[in-house]
Structure 1
Amino acid sequence: MTTARTSPARVRLAPQVRREQIIGAAQRLYADRPYDQVSTAELAAAAGVARGLINHYFENKRELFLEAMRQSVLMPVAPLPDAHDRTTEERTRATVEWILDAATTYGQAWVNASGAANLHGDSDIQAIVDEADDRAARLVLDAIGLPDDAHLRARLRPMAALTKAVCREWLQRKTFTRDEAATLITSSILLFVEEHTS
């Protein structure tokens, strides 16, 4: 007796839900492989959609890649720790631990995506990474109780590159323990802002 094979029924999703499903699939693929090694057909298969639906939601493969990048580098995090009654050093350490908690959860995709500007050298990717770095600087300033000042943000933005490099050493290469990573990042932030905290 032959059993007829049936394709799984496609589920109709709200447009925003479907769009996020496609972006999530792209993030998973790009976490392991660079842009030019992932085809549109693979993206569609990973998302469980027809290839034409990728072009329905995104103008082209490049637009989907950039959106996946944007969401990866703007790493979701838990609420900032409440550290208003602590010293600047204690607030900074608590903030770094908060960043490392998020890196533990989102680390592989975040580290890979955050390094993509260097890998691809494209101005649109660099703009996304720059936006994320500026946002991170604002969050850190807020968390450690310093004003959102353009000069302070400029001092802290280079910390984003150091933080990503330290997270790569800790999460991928295993050359740092989490505590060593936290200590290095904390002491570096304090060095960058020390004239404003004394």
Structure 2
Amino acid sequence: MTATRQRLAPAERRQQIIEAARVLYSERPFDAVSTGELAEAAGVARGLINHYFGDKRELFLEVMRESILMPERPLDGLDGKPLQERARLTMDWILDAATTYGQAWVAASGAANLHGSSDLQVIVDEADDRAARLVLDALGLPDDPHLRARLRPTAALTKSVCREWLQHGTFTRHEALDLLTTTVLLFVQNDHPTKETRA
């Protein structure tokens, strides 16, 4: 007996495909997942993959985009706290996000770094820049291009620390929090030159 497919609005169906693909890509690399498997996991006909995403590569890029972009929402309860405490609370929030997204988020972040093609690198760069802006805002620091440039490299470390903690178990959550907090403070506390002195 053939199961009947549930009728969904286009946006819901598209998201259903993304969620199914996220699970497959968290388990195996892009090249090891076929369009047929993606369709079967999502419970849709293969043609719908092409209808919503054009091809398998575009679906993969969308999964990466959703997996590694931090949500743009402010952190509450940071006003009036010293920089060190704000940094720890911010890194704690990021680790909570990693836990919430789970292994799929960590694996997706790692896959993004391993598949160094230009289209994927654009997504990684966008995610790292957004994360830097969100951290600066949480720390109560200005959205200064130089400060943002100092923070962007910490994104790669954050992803690596989360993989060590969540996938390999080589760090405890407390150790991960200590390392990330110390790193962020190191990158933002040093005096940074003004635009005039850099020119």
Q: TM-score, normalised by structure 2?
A: 0.92
Deviation of 1:53 (Å): 1.1
Correspondence 1:83-98 to 2 at 5 A: 83-98=78-93
Residue matched to 1:63: 58
Residue matched to 2:7: 12
Q: Is the 8 A contact 2:136 2:143 kept in 1?
A: yes
For structure 1, list consecutive stretches of 5 or more residues without a partner in the other structure: 1-5
Secondary structure at 2:179 match in 1 = helix
Residue matched to 2:76: 81
Separation in 2, partners of 1:54, 1:69: 16
Secondary structure at 1:176 match in 2 = coil
The one-character-per-residue Cα deviations of 1:142-190 (angstroms, maximum 9, x if unpaired) are 0010001100000000000111111111111111111111011001100
Residue matched to 1:122: 117
Deviation of 1:78 (Å): 7.1
Correspondence 1:1-198 to 2 at 5 A: 6-76=1-71, 80-195=75-190
RMSD of aligned Cα (Å): 1.5
Separation in 2, partners of 1:72, 1:96: 18
Q: Is the 8 A contact 1:133 1:160 kept in 2?
A: yes
Aligned residues: 192
Secondary structure at 1:115 match in 2 = helix
User: What percentage of residue pairs aligned between the two structures are identical?
Assistant: 70
Q: TM-score, normalised by structure 1?
A: 0.92
Q: Which segments of structure 1 move beyond 3 Å, counting only runs of 4 or more?
A: 75-79
| Counterpart amino acid of residue 83 in structure 2 | T
Deviation of 1:196 (Å): 5.2
